[in-house]
Structure 1
Amino acid sequence: MHKKGKMPVLLSIFLLLITVSVLHAGETGKIAGVAKDAKTGDVLPGANILITALWEDGKEVPLSKTIGAATDMDGYFYIINLRPGKYSVTASFIGYGKVKKTEVDVYVDKTTQLDFNLEQEEYQSEEVVVTEYRSPKVESDRTSTKQVFSTSEIEEIAGINDVADILELQADVIDNHFRGGREGESQYLFGGASINNPISANRSFSPMVTGIQQVEVFTSGFSAEYGNAQSGVVNMVPKEGGDKWITKFAYSQELPYFETWGGNPFTTDYMPLWNLLSNAEEWLNNQDPQLSSGDPMFKDYLGFWPSGYEPTFDDSLRLASFAMRDWMQVVRDIGLEYNEIPTSRIDFSTGGPVARGIKVFVAARQEDKNPIIPTPLPNRSRQWLSNLTANINDKDKLTLSFSYNEKFNNDVDDDPQIWSDRIFQVPKENQTSKLYGLDYNNILSQSTFFDLSFKVLNTFEETRVEYLDPDKYRNNGANGERIGGVSINYVGRYRNTPFGTANNMELKRGNESSTTYSFIGSITSQLNKGNMVKTGFQLFSYALNGYREENIKSEGERELLDFKAYPYEGALYIQDKMEFEGMIANIGLRFEFYDFNTNYFSDTFNPRRGGETSRTEIVTHFAPRLGVSFPVSENSVFHINYGSFVQRPSFNRIYYTTWVSDTEFNRMGNPELKPERTNSYDVGILQSLPLGFTLDVSAYYKDVKDLIHEAIYFSNNGNYHIKYGNLDYANIKGFHVNLEQLGKNWKAYINYNYQVATGKASGPGSQNIIEVYENPALQKDRDPEDILMDYDRSHRLVANLSYRWKNKEGPEIFGFRPFENMSISATFRIQTGQPYTDDEQYLGVVYNKRMPTEYNLKVRLQKGFEIGGIDYMFYIEGFNLLNFKVYDQDVFDYTNDLRLLDRYKNGERESLIWYDYKAGSGTEDDYMNRYRYSMEQIIYRNTPRYFRLGVELKL
């Protein structure tokens, strides 16, 4: 709803903020249980429960300061505010022997049930009975659908380098689409702060696994503390320095390989006309069906000359030679050897105490990767994650953090037409992200603690054209181009090959930046045995800036995006986790508000600069959340959740107005957009099965409303413009199955998801643009039939099998254990192909067929050694080991090239890469492509089989 007066609303919010407790995005977990007499079963009031050590890389590291609690009159205890990880927990009571349980798992926002059975002793001794912790058969407090990944456990899986790779392990997350939702509908949190770029709503960077302790991936039922997300939440808890210094170095490199299926992108193997056209005499002939009868090839090729200097065809051999040499200059890389420089990556991390109560942690990475073709500079990314924690006393903790990410990228796509010019044709992209943080934690009592957090996120993105001055444009000329202050001959750089353009100049540039100021607090209180309450607020203020140009042929032709904006938003919420015998519930309510803080044109259909404007108002809404689990037995848990998830429009939909003159624009942002809404329902069961298997099955339904889509707005006077409106919806339904088995040395899981996501469009600019008329009589009804989303995959299965031999394990041969400290992990993925349109009879059907099913297998084998007190680990990873080819969507795009689709439907597969250059359809593309590249390089969009070697050192 909208509020007319801002000051009363803001005052009410401020008063509520200072009177309500605060909450921080969850980064801690809880241990709870009961201490009993092992023989009688009587509870033991006053027993001491102490956390004495933390486990790092399979080794126990004693804590410099123990954490503990005493059991109450019912023998019950709890310890809250625990960072995720593995701990050693000891129980003791007068007259009883001590019991120690090792490697007790603690997860974010989860209660770890830990019970102790103590034996009476006639004489008190210091001997401790040590037992390995065994997790419950099923999670009794599972009220949401989520996966929790401890990075120490998944680093042994092939290709797990950052959070984006972790998401690939989920069957219900596909290319940043969470359970059928659109891209940009999820929230990414690192250290409790959002790292989403507020302009695009996408993740600004992917934190590396080396700097992450644990990752929660919610796909349904996330609690009221998480907002501005419809489809999912990824909560990343960063590592901190421990009580012992641990330093790691890692280096890895891919074995040389080509990223395209055609091999060397400049090979002549697939270019039957290369040798032919390298002979000037061939340019005198007419052997091409496309040319008009009787004309030599050079006549069509040399189609421009300065006035008064037109040649005659008496010197045809000289002209043919000139045409040949000009063409060879354009395709000058053809025939060269391309020995690709492989991708290399260097990781470093260190952490430990620097003074009493002060610890530091640092993780850094640099990665160099070449695109499909060689470029003057490789793609390079650098990342730095760091924090300093200071335990001021037993109750106060201060954390300073800083994260930095930069990425340089050559925007080389898979279109070989640009590969002949990698200077002007390939734009350069720079991205940087900086996250500053100050966190304060205070323990008020054994049952209550609070956090305060102030974070600043800076993002910057730039696209530039090499050697083109910022105030210069590509001016069209009959025989030349002017690039900045340098004249560049048109011939040889922007020249047509026979019957097709080989290259062109990139026509876009500019940058945009954002600064997000966030103030978040937290209080968590275990009110009693059955209720743990959280309540709090979040405040965000933004400073946004954008300046981008497109179509930079000349200043008069350019399209300009230029904006500055200062929106703000916030939220209040309360969450209660109720834990009773037979039922556990998470009940929450979230209140959100935002203001785009800008003016907009009052006339929807006739907006003009200088026209009447209005000011945006504060938008408010409530979002209830409910999740309940019913532990039927120690082997079965039934769970259900419902959530109302609301997401404000991303700021690019609000402020992106593209001007083509001082008064005219062709695209306009829309500050009147309403928030997008999703009502989500999920029901499932967790079941423990024989042989250590655990089965998790859930069914879900999502009703999505007010989705944003592009529309053309037509006024009665004939004017029109493009802008966004809340014109779409979606319906998503499916079910998810996860089968796991955890053994002493192995872990296996099968993760399967089935879904159907339908609606009107896959994204704001996808499918047909909507027409909206000022005159209702002209309004056309949209097609009543819903379509599949273009990212929909009906079936997706991810399976992993990992086996590990620990220290002193494995067969012994002549006193040597070859498999000791060795592990192997294999991950297999199979998924339905994307939908495509095959409308032979022009009936208007959309996405009625599926591309072929896709397969992928990757494996990691690693072996550890200890030499001179240093732990070494060597590994090899193999990717796409089945060497399976995935077709590019362009093969099935009926608007792109029907010939490829027709040939595919007629049974051609591998032969699609060949052109019949002697007898074709006579179209320009058919003849253009055969002169420059292999079709195999563009028909398949995945990468052939390749391998990566790596070594890690731990000090």
Structure 2
Amino acid sequence: MELKGKIRLVAFLLLAGLLTFSGIVFAGTTGKIVGKVVDEETGEVLPGVNVVIEGTGLGASTDLEGRYFIINIPVGTYSLKASMIGYTPESKVGVKVSADLTTTVDFKLSPTVIESPEAIVVTAKRPMVDKSRTSTMHIATSAEITNMPVTTSDGVVINTAGVVFDRIGGPVATNMSTNAIAEVQMITGGFNAEYGNAMSGVVNVVTPEGGPGLIHGSYKFTTDKGISSIDKDKYDFGDNNHLLSLKGTLPFLGSGVKYFFSGNLYLTDDWGPRLHKLDHHKQQTYRTQGKLTYNFTPTMKLTLGGFKNRRQYQMYNHNYYFNLDHYLSTLEKAEQVYAKLTHQISKNTFYEAKLGMFRNNWTRGVVDPLLTDEDKWWEDWKFKIPLLDATPADSLHVYQDRDQTWEYPLAVPDLFYNIGDHRFFENRKTDQVIFKFDITSQINYNNLVKSGFEYNLYKVKRHYNSLPADPNPFLDVYEFKPQVGAFYVQDKLEYKGLVMNIGGRVDFLTHDAKLWPSETELPYTKMNEHPEARTEKVEPKITFSPRLGVSHPVSETMVIFFNYGHFYQMPRFRELFMTLNPNLSRANQIVGNPDLKPEKTIQQEVGLSNQFSADLAVDLRAYYKNIYNLMAMERLPTNVGTPYDIVRNLDYGTVKGLEVVLKKRYSQYWALNLSYTLQYAKGTNSDWFDQYEIHARDAMDPVTGLTRVFPQKTYYLDFDRRHSLIANLSLRFPKGFGPVVAGIHPVQNTGLNIVYNLGSGLPYTKRDYKGNPIGEKNGYRQPWTMTTDMTLSKSLRLFNTAVTFSLEVTNLFNRRNVLRIYPITGSPYDDGYQVPQVADRGISKDKVSDYQWNFEKVKDLNGDGVISQREEQIAYENAYKFYVRDPMNFGPPRQIKIGMAVDF
């Protein structure tokens, strides 16, 4: 890296804390502690005991029945102290609080004649069975995430039971780095009324707050540079990841302003390698994020935060192998600022008022090499200009039409796109203002009520062009201002033998797009030139979602739970607004529908949690989901002669399954989380775009001559992974562990974490040589996939500073996982088509130009200056084998990185 680049890197890491971030700001971020205090000798309840969370202003006194509760506690690990005159104080350390959950901490105080200044200290051990939970929830704490072989919040979610991930799609800008996470909650069962606009689950990422002291922090750096020197061809992916986090208290405004900041810079030459390192697969990402908190009074707190992220990455397409610089790249920029006021009105009640602004700018197209230096990671890439938007001054920066006829290094035409640009450009912009208000009240010891509302105002823009080198392209340009809001109320009832979560939620969506008076009788062919043709207003969409969760503790170590709920997801803006005024002089137009209904899921779940011993527990759950109003495509005829496809709520699906999770808490140097999921997912379509492809390929009925109508039938969906097994094994060897060699313990402070993923193959439809389906749709299965990831770490103290060295290996055994196959053969290597006979083109050195011979001579196997028919055939067969051996059909190979982390 040049000197200026190194200076920019150092400056970035030092200044990351000047930019602020909120994770998923408007989800739950606090929990509750309840308990009971009794006399250790008599067992009688003790009223009037002071219970405080040390280091905070939070606390409570026990009531006449010896009970207490503390609400509005930020996620984290605390020390809890109980004290009363005449009794020895007792502190319980290591008390963990999770968002939206109840932690129970009971005390038994010993009487004393003379008050002892020393408190009894007990390490709290949280029960592995949470009696307050009424649905399936997986929680990963910051300590657990640190030990996992992952770098982002997505990596944590992928390794969760019940999550299906295809490992094919590109990254997203709002993904969070692990050094900015206090806790990740993955709610895969039913969820409370507070959460909406989701049907399958909720991921709640909680960011840390600042701590005591002026500054504490950590810096971590991982790279494959040292490993690549062993075998550059195998392990050199140009991977470098920097993570910096800072927290503390600034000595301002009396009690001080707590801060938390983090920065992440990730640079790689290949963000998703397949069989080997891929060309045109760079990624350059920075994330800057943080939070400021200030307590005006012990009961009022202001939080300010925000983030500024930028991710730009190149994309690979095997058809462009010899022309990848003219294939797609993506730039996504996301930023947010917010303010949150938390006011504890009384020990029983507090409210939160939040105001935030979010902006996202997403562009995908072909990068302009004349305006972009891809080695300067701090600069945004510039894209080529569609012909329709260009001026004469832009002649060097416009899209060029692509072609397969020109010859390339394999000297065989008509296989690869070897000149021109890929036919795609799109820019989407979203501006969002959100206001949310929540109030929580512990009405009595057993009854916690929470209610709130939110309002979101959006401005969404799209500029889409799928033929940017054509003066008459598929074009879509729009700007709309949708509004989305919700109101909810929920009540959590907690008794010794029963916990209930009861709630309801109302959501609404309205916008300024309009409908045509008739969808088939259109006044113009080129509707894009007459947007005034849409005159009919769209009625607001309003939904009501009842939610119910019940938990029954059968014993101190066993709980059964049940939940039922309706869950809605509002239509995506793209499907609402895209191509509302199509140009019907072009066929195969896809038109959005401003009148789409929200998609709906009705879910039932039943489960059991049982703790067998102090450190071993099992969770069982069974679930069933009915999914309605899924989007699909309907082809409509028109009076102007050209049919088009419109998005409708036509499809239906069901998902049912069984999940088993075995958890062994850390003890005797090891911990284990083992999960198995059996799932069946069926529906009438896997994606709303499926029907469009059928219409475009086989639109007309050969008997009637009319648009073909396909009967609706359920089949296994594309994401129907029947069996999933995930194992997370952690070995931790503390200080003083192991044999002594030369006066030291070489194994102490060493950790090993292994994550194993096993999944059955996803379904596909087998086809014959004409493309016709064979048997049932999605009636065949791809091969199973298996990956093993490992992190080995060793911690030392150097110059009174904690330093950790690590070795991270993904796909440890270098398994070649198949992600895509050809539907004719079921193989990732062979598409099933017979290589055609190639004619003798009569090419020889003395008959063509020197320029052409430079391409053709690669086929001259015997060096006689003449390309025979046999040599033409061999060249074509070799080129075709290379063509069908698409590396994107396979998963990532083994990757090895070394790292160092410093805590200060």
Bucket of the pairwise TM-score, normalised by the shorter protein: 0.7 to 0.9
Distance of aligned partners of 1:697 and 1:540 in 2 relative to their CA distance in 1, 3 Å threshold: same
Q: How many residues align?
A: 801
**Which of 211, 217, 221 in structure 2 is aligned with 1:247?**
217
**Cross-structure match for 1:856:** 787
Paired letter, 2:794: K
Could you list the per-position Cα deviations for residues 450-503 of structure 1 after superposition, in whole angstroms to 9, with x for gaps in the alignment?
A: 10001111000112323375253799xxxxx98548999999977693243432
Superimposed CA distance per residue, residues 883-922 of structure 1 (whole angstroms, 9 cap, x where no aligned partner):
211124133466999954699xxxxxxxxxxxxx999999
CA separation of 1:487 and 1:37: change in aligned 2, threshold 3 A: closer
Residue equivalent to 2:411? 497
Does the 8 A contact of 1:625 with 1:644 survive in 2? yes
The structure whose RCO (Cα within 8 Å, separation 6+) is larger is 1
Deviations along 1:121-171, one digit per CA (max 9) or x if unpaired, are 12111121111111124111120111111122221111x211100111112
| CA distance in structure 2 between the partners assigned to 1:944 and 1:791 by the alignment | 23
| Equivalent runs, 1:187-226 vs 2, <5 Å | 205-226=174-195
3-state DSSP class of the match of 2:747? coil
CA distance in 1, matches of 2:413, 2:241: 43
Question: Aligned ranges for residues 160-199 of structure 1 at < 5 Å?
Answer: 160-175=150-165
Contact conserved, 2:513 with 2:537, CA < 8 A, in 1? yes
Q: Is the 8 A contact 2:224 2:235 kept in 1?
A: no
Match of 1:418 in 2: 320
1:695 alignment partner, one of 618, 621, 626: 618
Aligned-partner Cα distance in 2 for 1:823–1:541: 48
**Is residue 395 of structure 1 aligned with residue 364 of structure 2?**
no
Task: Tell me the equivalent position of 1:671.
Answer: 594
Q: Alignment identity in percent? A: 27
Distance (Å, rounded) in 2 between the aligned partners of 1:929 and 1:634: 68
Q: Is 1:346 equivalent to 2:251 in the alignment? A: no
Aligned-pair CA distance for 1:410:
1.2
Question: Helix, strand or coil: the match of 1:391?
Answer: strand
Q: Retained in 2: the 8 A contact 1:379–1:409?
A: yes
Aligned counterparts of 1:238 and 1:768: Cα–Cα separation in 2: 42
RMSD of aligned alpha carbons: 3.5
* One-letter identity of the residue aligned with 2:470: S
Amino acid at match of 2:332: Q
Question: Scaled by the length of structure 2, what TM-score is found?
Answer: 0.82
Query: In the alignment, does 2:713 pair up with 1:723?
Result: no
SS in 2 for 1:551: coil
Distance in 2 (alpha carbons) for counterparts of 1:83 and 1:383: 24
The residue aligned with 2:804 is 873
- What code does the residue aligned with 1:835 have? P
Match of 2:39 in 1: 37
Cα deviation for residue 881 of structure 1 reads: 1.3
Change (3 A) 1:670 1:377: closer
The residue that corresponds to 2:478 in the other structure is 563
Q: Deviation digits for residues 497-554 of structure 1, max 9, x if unmatched?
A: 3243432421212311001111001111000011000011010010011112111232
User: How far apart are the structure 2 equivalents of 1:595 and 1:691?
Assistant: 52
2:394 paired with 1:404: no
Equivalent position amino acid for 1:714 in 2: P
Matched with 1:18 is: none
Which SS does the other structure have where 2:887 is aligned? helix
Pair 1:155 & 2:146 matched: yes
In the other structure, the counterpart of 1:650 is 572
Displacement, 1:839?
4.9
Deviation of 1:72 (Å): 0.6
Q: Does 1:947 align with 2:896?
A: yes
Q: Which amino acid aligns with 1:722?
A: D
Q: What are structure 1's unaligned runs of at least 5 residues?
A: 1-22, 53-62, 178-182, 185-199, 265-336, 476-480, 904-916
CA distance in 2, matches of 1:733, 1:925: 51
Quote the residue 1:87 is aligned against.
Answer: 78
User: What's 1:48 paired with?
Assistant: 50
How far off its partner does 1:722 sit? 1.4
Distance 1:374 1:790, change over 3 A: closer
Contact 2:280 2:315 in 1 (8 A): no
Query: 1:251 touches 1:950 (CA, 8 Å); kept in 2?
Result: yes
Question: What SS class does the counterpart of residue 822 from structure 2 fall into?
Answer: helix
What secondary structure sits across from 2:345 in the alignment?
strand
Do the aligned partners of residues 837 and 898 (structure 1) sit closer, same or farther apart at CA in structure 2, a change above 3 Å counting? farther
Q: TM-score, normalised by structure 1?
A: 0.78
Q: Does 1:683 align with 2:685?
A: no
Change in Cα spacing, 1:928 to 1:726, as seen in structure 2 (3 Å) is farther
Q: Quick check: 1:24–1:521 contact (8 Å CA) kept in 2?
A: no
Task: Say if 2:296 and 2:302, in contact at 8 Å, map to a contact too.
Answer: yes
Q: In the alignment, which residue of structure 1 is the partner of 2:256? A: 357
In structure 2, do the counterparts of structure 1 residues 888 and 474 end up closer, same or farther at CA, with 3 Å as the change threshold? farther
The worse-fitting range, judged by mean Cα deviation, of 581-590 and 364-373 is 364-373
**2:132 maps to 1:141:** yes
2:118 maps to: 127
Contact map agreement 2:80 2:93 (CA 8 A) in 1: yes
Determine the C-alpha separation between the residues in 2 that align with 1:172 and 1:902: 37
* Offset of residue 778 of structure 1: 6.5
Q: Is the 1:369–1:379 Cα contact (8 Å) retained in structure 2?
A: yes
- How far is the alpha carbon of 1:204 from its aligned partner? 5.1
Structure 2 distance, partners of 1:664, 1:900, is 31
**Does residue 1:573 correspond to 2:481, yes or no?**
no
**Aligned residue for 1:620?**
542
Aligned 8 A contact 2:448 2:492 in 1:
yes
Matches within 5 A, 1:258-407: 340-355=236-251, 356-371=255-270, 378-407=282-311
Query: Per residue, is there more strand in 1 or in 2?
Result: 1
Structure 2 match to 1:710: 633
Deviation, structure 1 residue 604: 1.9
Cα gap change, 1:490/1:885 in structure 2, threshold over 3 Å: closer, same or farther?
closer
C-alpha displacement at 1:865, in angstroms?
A: 0.9
- SS at 2:324 equivalent: coil
Q: Report the residue type matching 1:428 in the other structure.
A: S
Change (3 A) 1:552 1:934: closer
- The one-letter amino acid paired with 1:347 is L
Q: Hey, what does 2:680 align to over in structure 1? A: 756
Q: Please give the per-residue CA displacement for 1:31-50, whole angstroms capped at 9, x wherever unaligned.
A: 10000111111001001111
Instruction: Please give the alpha-carbon distance, in whole angstroms, between the structure 2 residues aligned to 1:27 and 1:924.
Output: 66
Task: Note the C-alpha offset of 1:571.
Answer: 0.7
Task: Return the alpha-carbon distance in structure 1 between the equivalents of residues 454 and 592 of structure 2.
Answer: 26
Residue 761 (structure 1) shift = 1.1
* Other-structure match for 2:560: 638
DSSP-derived class of the 2:247 partner:
strand
1:546–1:561 contact (8 Å) kept in structure 2? yes
Shift of 1:375: 5.9
Q: In the alignment, is residue 112 of structure 1 matched against residue 103 of structure 2?
A: yes
Matched, 1:534 2:450: yes
Partners of 1:339 and 1:122 in 2: CA distance = 69
Alpha-carbon distance in 1 for matches of 2:521, 2:110: 83
In structure 2, relative to structure 1, the CA distance for the partners of 1:353 and 1:248 (3 Å cut) is same
Which residue is 1:737 aligned to? 660
**d(CA) in 2 for partners of 1:866 and 1:532?**
46
| 1:534-613 paired onto structure 2 within 5 Å | 534-556=450-472, 558-607=473-522, 608=524, 609=527, 610=530, 611=533, 613=535
Distance in 2 (alpha carbons) for counterparts of 1:339 and 1:747? 30
CA distance in 2, matches of 1:370, 1:751: 34
Cα deviation digits, residues 649-669 of structure 1 (max 9, x gap): 100001110767498782211
Aligned residue in 1 for 2:22:
none
Any idea what SS the aligned residue of 2:727 has? strand
Report if aligned partners of 1:890, 1:939 keep a CA contact under 8 Å in 2: no
Give the letter aligned to residue 672 of structure 2: A
Change in 2 beyond 3 A, CA 1:731/1:490 = closer
